[in-house]
Amino acid sequence: MNLTKLEKEIIQHRLDVPDAMSECLADDAEFNLSYEQAFSLFDERLPGLIAKLTSDQTLDKWEVEAVRDIATCDVYAWMADGAIGFDWEDGKEMTPQWASRIWNTSENLQNKLMRLL
């Protein structure tokens, strides 16, 4: 899978909050996991997920669940939207155009990731 720099940034943003991802997994009755079990699984498997995606390696069950979480998460785009007029990255101000680009990229990424599932 080819990922743009911004797509990788969006994925990494979600990977940087394994506690939120673990909470989602623990709340899924299908898996019957405690938060601690979910966190341990993700803590072990999330590092390197982007590399696995870009090298088209087969994902295990828990990596697939992480991809599902990322593919259904709009947090990064909402943060960009809420940052319009404020500093975002490297002291650059978030503009409506930049936020729109992030939304579009996020939606395209979500579609791309959903095709993996």
Whole-number pLDDT of residue 45: 87
CB 114 within 8 A of CB 71: yes
Per-residue pLDDT 10s for the chain (117 aa) are 999 999 999 999 999 989 999 999 999 999 999 999 999 999 988 999 999 999 999 999 999 999 999 999 999 999 999 999 999 988 899 999 999 999 999 999 999 999 988
Whole-number pLDDT of residue 90: 86
CA angle 44, 49, 51 (to 5 degrees): 130
CB 102 within 8 A of CB 41: no
- Measured CA to CA in angstroms, residue 25 lies from 53, 57, 61, 84 at distances of 20, 22, 12, 31
Q: How far apart are CA 50 and CA 12, in angstroms?
A: 8
